[in-house]
Structure 1
Amino acid sequence: MITRRTHVALLAASVLLTGCGGGAVASTDGTPTPSGEPSRTTPAPEISVEVAPQQIPGLGPKTWAKVPAAARQAVVVTGRGRDSSASTVVLYERTAAGWRAGADWPAHNALKGWTDHHLAGDLRSPIGVYTLTDAGGLLKDPGAKLTYDRGVGFTSPGTGFEGEPLAGSFDYVIAINYNRQPGTSPLDWTRPLGAGRGGGIWLHVDHGGPTHGCVSIAEEHMKELLLALDPDRHPVVVMGDATSLNR
């Protein structure tokens, strides 16, 4: 004999087993239930993992072979064309996962573009891979890790090729070790390759026009670069027009 209490208990158990729709219990594998309702379990979303490149993009085998194995920072200056004075600067940092790129910064290089054989007065920037060890400027050290030389020798009078004032161009500079003695002030005029091969090639503050041979970027980006470059990470600059760098 089934009592009223027993009947209620059996009815409650039936509801628990069948769910509110009266069919079988919802599955957990995403398939429809026998009652026609979809599974209540949402599949986990796919996770995309960014993989940093093991080689800096845009550098061909000949250029890449010149990047020292010890380098963990690379300032890549990519010219728009062989005869163009417009370029882009990107700071790459090498991590355990690969090379990671910073922001793209607009830049200027020499008036007549780029050359594989720089000569004094040719108004072209030298193509190549060069170490970065020394900095300086007219303004006080913003906190650079590279050796920083401050002095009035970094005054830049006169006007540029487009009539723009040069004042402030050397407020912050980083010497590019092309035809110079590393470990000295950017103002040092020692020329290991001879005076005829030019020198005084720097990264410096942009004055709004082409340079004689240097690479220039906005003052705020120069300060960022000075704060980022670390001699313990053996920074280099890789510079040239895009076609040349891709060789």
Structure 2
Amino acid sequence: MSVPRRPPALLAAPLLALVLLLTGCSSEPAPVKLPVGAPGQGAAGPESDAAPARRASSGPDAGTVPTPSPTPSPAAIPGLGPETLAKIPAEARQAFVVTGEEADANRSRAALYSREGRAGGWKPVAGPWDAHNGMKGWTDHHVAGDLRSPAGVYTLTDAGGRLPDPGALLPYDEHPRFAVDGEGFFGEPLEGSFDYVVAINYNRTEGVSPLDRTRPLGLERGGGIWIHVDHGGPTQGCVSVPEHRMRELLRALDPAMKPVIVMGDAERLGR
């Protein structure tokens, strides 16, 4: 008696199942797992072995699937180290950065940066400009009469000057008491130095005229630290920039963007 032969389709089905079991149901590669611990990759730390690039299992275009590049971190402000950046309030979206040449030097460079939102990267807006700071440089513990500028990060909320408001966005107090005369450390005239000022909120009360003399830390810790018009020489402890730059700065600093000043010598700011 003869044995009936199986139809070809019945023989092909087990073979197809075996092929699918070995190769998977899709010709697309499995998702590539990214290392973690770097910006944009999670916070669990880097893996000990980086996942190699995988190959597509079939198809005419099968080949190496590249590992996606990590998401770049937001741009930081050049010259500022992690300690300094951490002191900038999260809500601040404008930073006026004044970088001194050395700890005991009185010449600086100033530039304005801004960012979109709290997580946005910092972008240059204006500068760098030539600037002056305290006669003897910078200090982490300013006291009255030390002729050093207080290094750190301070908010900027109030402005004023002897001359009429040039279009400032910060509250502006025009007052004749901003008049000044006499000579600077090198004999340069001081007249006009306070034609435009922005109060630096070191040892002062926010939301009042720069002329206010309230000193929350006490008189011995100094005060009246301003950004003002440069007179061609070092200051008692303020920061100064040329007059046309002061007008530009007053028109740029926006209270809605919670501006701050970041100031100190380059080595200190780089920490």
Q: What is the aligned counterpart of 1:57 among 67, 75, 78? A: 78
What's the RMSD between the two structures over aligned residues?
1.3
Instruction: Look up the match of 1:79.
Output: 100
Instruction: Look up the match of 1:213.
Output: 237
1:30-109 mapped onto 2 (5 Å cutoff): 54-95=75-116, 98-101=121-124, 102-109=126-133
- Residues 69-108 of structure 1: CA deviation (Å, up to 9, x unaligned): 0011000000000000000000001136621112210000
- Tell me if the contact between 1:131 and 1:237 (Cα under 8 Å) persists in the aligned partners: yes
The CA deviation at 1:59 is 1.0
The CA deviation at 1:54 is 2.5
Q: 1 CA distance for matches of 2:186 and 2:180?
A: 16
Q: 2 CA distance for matches of 1:80 and 1:178?
A: 22
Q: What is the aligned counterpart of 1:192 among 201, 216, 221? A: 216
Structure 1, unaligned stretches of length 5 or more? 1-50
Q: 2 CA distance for matches of 1:153 and 1:201?
A: 16
Instruction: Look up the match of 1:136.
Output: 160
- Residues 25-52 of structure 1: CA deviation (Å, up to 9, x unaligned): xxxxxxxxxxxxxxxxxxxxxxxxxx99
- Tell me if the contact between 1:73 and 1:94 (Cα under 8 Å) persists in the aligned partners: yes
Structure 2, unaligned stretches of length 5 or more? 1-71
Number of residue equivalences: 197
Determine whether 1:244 maps to 2:244.
no
- Residues 214-236 of structure 1: CA deviation (Å, up to 9, x unaligned): 00000000000000000000000
The CA deviation at 1:199 is 0.3
Q: 2 CA distance for matches of 1:123 and 1:147?
A: 28
Task: Determine what percentage of the aligned residue pairs are the same residue.
Answer: 65
* TM-score normalised by structure 2 residue count: 0.71
Determine whether 1:121 maps to 2:164.
no
Instruction: Look up the match of 2:38.
Output: none
Instruction: Look up the match of 2:175.
Output: 151
Letter in 2 for 1:237: I
Q: Report the secondary structure of 2:267's partner residue.
A: helix
Q: Report the secondary structure of 1:187's partner residue.
A: coil
Instruction: Look up the match of 2:40.
Output: none
Letter in 1 for 2:137: G
- Tell me if the contact between 2:139 and 2:150 (Cα under 8 Å) persists in the aligned partners: yes
Q: 2 CA distance for matches of 1:212 and 1:203?
A: 12
The CA deviation at 1:57 is 1.5
Instruction: Look up the match of 2:56.
Output: none
Q: 1 CA distance for matches of 2:248 and 2:210?
A: 19
- Residues 150-191 of structure 1: CA deviation (Å, up to 9, x unaligned): 101101110000000000000000000000000010000000
Q: Report the secondary structure of 1:222's partner residue.
A: helix
* TM-score normalised by structure 1 residue count: 0.78
